[in-house]
Chains A and B, each alone.
Chain A
Amino acid sequence: MSGKWLKLPVTAKDLQSLAIGEWVNLSGPLYTARDAALERIHNLILEGKKPPVDFKDQLIYFVGPTPPAPGEPVGSAGPTTSRRMEPFLPSVLEAGVVAVMGKGPLSAQMVSEFQRRGVVYLSAAGGAGAFYGSRVHGAAVAAYEELGPEAVFSLKVENFPAVVALDLKGGNLFEQGPAAFRKEA
C-alpha cells in the first residue's frame, strides 16, 4: 500500500502527522494482546501492580495468531475486533500505550477516551491474516505463554499496512468514511 512509512516505536511527532483515511506502513517492534491477556493486565493495573511488559510509548496490536509453519515466526496474523477489548482499554492506555491497532470501530465513549489521551487508532484489514502473517519477521512470547494464541507476543513487523481510523485532530474514519457513502432514504 502506498502510504506513510512509520518506524516503531512511534514518536509523538509521527503520530501528530497522521490523518484519518491514510495508509501507514509499520516497521519495527510491537506488542500483541487480546481478550485473556488484556484482562490479566487490566487486573494487575487495578491492583497497583506493574504489567508484565513496559507499554510506555508502544503500539499494541489486537491479534491471536495461528501456529507458525516450520521456519516461520507466526502463521496467520490479522487483527481481531477492537470493541471487545474496551473494558480493559483504559488501564492499558494508562500504562502508556500511544497507538492501538485492531479492526472495526470503537464506541463513542472510547473514542473520547482516545482523544482525551491523544492515542491514535489504526485499523488493519480484518480477514487479511495470511497477508499480515507474511509481514511479521520475528516473534517471541513476551508474557503469559500459557494463554497460547492469546499470549502477549513481541512481533517484529515490516511494511505492515493499516489505515488511520482515529487521528489526533478529532477525525474518526468509522464515522466520516461511511457518512460519505450513505444513501439511505
Chain B
Amino acid sequence: MKIISIRNGFTADHSSTSYEFLAIDRPLDAEARAEVGKLSRRAEPTDRQVSFFYQMDNYDLPGGWEPLMKQYYDVMVSESYDWWTLAIAFDATSEQRDAVMRYAFRGPGDHGVDVSAVDDRVIVSILAFIDSNALYDLSSIPGRRRRGGGDPTETLLRLLSDIRRQLIAGDYRALYAVWEEYGWEEEAEEEDEEEWEAEPVPPEPPELESGQDIVERLRGLLDNP
C-alpha cells in the first residue's frame, strides 16, 4: 500500500532544498575541498564547512548527501519542503553499529531515525519536522533583550555535534527521544492476536543527569503537526 510518485502541479508552491555540512574530526585538505567544490559552482567549501542550496524542482545534490557524510563530514543539516534531515556520521565498531541500528524506525508520517553503515562508518539520520519558533528561541543570542539574532543552522549543527559525542560514547538518549516523539507501539486487534508481530521498540536508555540538556534541546525542536 504505497504512493509510487508525487508530482507537483500548477500551483507555484515555492520550495527549495538546502544542505549545511560540518567536519568535526578531520578538516578537509585542499584536494578534498576541490572534490566537494565540484558538486556545485556556488559551493565554497572551507576546511570545516560547506553549504549547498537548490531552488529548482528536482534539482538536488548530485549523488545525494550520503557520500559526503561517508567521506568528509560528520554532521549535516538539510531542509527541503519543510522536511528536515539531521545527519550524524562517525567511525564505529561493529558492536556500536549494531547498538545504533536498534534505534532505527519510521513513524506514521515517515518521521524517524534511519541508520546506514558502510564499512566502519555509521550514518544516523533523524527525519523530522522542526518547530520553527523553538528553533528561533534556541538560536537567540544570550543577553539580548530581543529573541533571535543567531543562525538557526549553526544552532542545529552545534546540537548535532553534541549528540554525536553522546552516540560515540554509547549514549542513545537523543535517538530514543525521537522515538518518543514519532514512534508508536502497535496494538493487535483481538482477532489478530495470534499472528501479531509488533514493530520492534528501541531499548530505553538509562536515565542520566549529565547531557540531559542536549536531549531536551532536541526534544524541544521536534514538531509533530
- A and B interact physically: no
Q: B residues touching A (Cβ–Cβ < 8 Å)?
A: none
